[in-house]
Amino acid sequence: MSRGLSVAETYRDAAERHGIHTLDGDSRKGNVAHDDLMSALSDLRKLDDQGEAILTQLADDPDDSVATWASTHLLPLRERLAIAKLKRVASSTGIIAFGAKMVLQEWKAGRLKIS
């Protein structure tokens, strides 16, 4: 965890930063945010519920990047809910919406493996 934040705050911060840097095209900062996100996900997976409660809450986040990441990581735990949340983001436009569409497509095709 970074800067004294809880695991939920660390995950949310990293997901939000990843979205910001995806939109502004800064791949270096986006990669750092992704690494931070995966580290926070690892911490979430160590919780008794594998982070399900936190991911479920973050799947409703008003930031589409946060909602997309949380819903993606929620797929193995709460598939129906995660798909519904991803469809909400995918119904808009832009690169984050496109990412949500691709997650849904790859999950349904069985090609997306999420730890």
What's this model's pTM, rounded to 2 decimal places? 0.94
Give the C-alpha separation, 33 to 55, whole Å.
17
For the chain, give the mean pLDDT.
95
CATH superfamily of domain region 7-108: Phosphatidylinositol 3-kinase, accessory domain (PIK) (1.25.40.70)
Q: Residue 77's pLDDT band (boundaries 50, 70, 90)?
A: very high
Q: Which residue has the tokens 């900062």?
A: 29
The DSSP secondary structure of 36-69, one letter per residue, reads HHHHHHHHHHTSTTTTHHHHHHHTT-SSHHHHHH
Tell me the mean pLDDT in the region 12-35: 98
Percent of the chain with pLDDT over 70: 97
Tell me the mean pLDDT in the region 69-95: 97
Domain extents in the chain = 7-108
- Residue pair 104/49 in contact (Cβ under 8 Å)? The answer is no
